[in-house]
Structure 1
């Protein structure tokens, strides 16, 4: 006997929270798959998660490991392990922190910037193929909605008490 799935995928967007959650999970999984395939072109043995550190160093400049842990919502031991791998591969270097000589900053090397830009180019070429039939208006709408969603996700604690929301409706 063939059984139907408990939550079949509708062929149209119904606006439900459940459908949105399902599509977000699907998007994250597909994004991880693409990221893994694109970053395989990088140095052998480097975890694809380490590229998030490289991204932040290229995007925001030299950072302390503790700041990267905050930015990436990760623990310091994970950042330390991944940044050490990036240093070993010549993509990141440790610099003295001018504000505190006892601390060090992590910074992208020229090779790190080259690898990052290569991966960015490959990602953008792939995404251009994915969106080739989309209108400019659709792309702008998608960007605006993703920006709005990401901004809200960053400020909304999933474990916060909904009864403690502020007058502005902000998450705590």
Structure 2
């Protein structure tokens, strides 16, 4: 097991990773924020699905998923159709315009990564993929918040009052 100092350095690197995420966000079209891009990506990867499944994959509340879906539907990138098994539920799927946008986003992202990681070897990129995949899987089953033990109470130097 790694030492505490290594975990602390890892935490600093996670914080610095925000710069990478911000740069990836800057290549998105102005009308397609990162949450919307995540929805498009999941629909492209997994195909049509219920809002509840999408919400689960995004690890967000249904209301957040609903706002993303409304945003994407307004732009014609997804369709929301009634679920034949349960008319109260909606099935989301990409439209041809959504598929085209997803392809454009994929191209932009691949180009940015190629530019920034151009001096990395193929083996280094493959190693990063393996390690990031493993890191993600280590957190997949940990969606419930971790409860830390309460801090130990400091010993008191006062004497209790006698009543």
TM class, shorter-chain normalised?
A: 0.7 to 0.9
**Structure 1, gaps ≥5 residues long:** 1-14, 163-172
Equivalence for 1:19: 9
Query: Are the aligned partners of 1:64 and 1:104 in contact in 2 as well (CA < 8 Å)?
Result: yes
Unaligned runs of 5+ in 2: 150-163
1:80 aligns with 2:66: yes
TM-score (norm 1): 0.76
4+ long deviations beyond 4 Å: none
Q: Residue 120 in 1 paired to residue 106 in 2?
A: yes
Answer yes or no: is the 8 Å Cα contact 2:80–2:91 preserved in 1: yes
Equivalence for 2:153: none
Structure 1 vs Structure 2 CA RMSD: 2.1
Per the normalisation by structure 2, the TM-score is 0.79
Q: Do the aligned partners of residues 138 and 35 (structure 1) sit closer, same or farther apart at CA in structure 2, a change above 3 Å counting?
A: closer
CA displacement at 1:161 relative to structure 2: 6.7
Which structure has the larger Rg?
2
After TM superposition, the structure 1 stretch with the greater mean CA deviation from structure 2, 153-162 or 80-89, is 153-162
Aligned length: 145
Q: Where does 1:78-157 land on structure 2 (aligned, <5 Å)? A: 78-156=64-142
- Is the contact made by 1:47 and 1:82 (CA closer than 8 Å) also made in structure 2? no
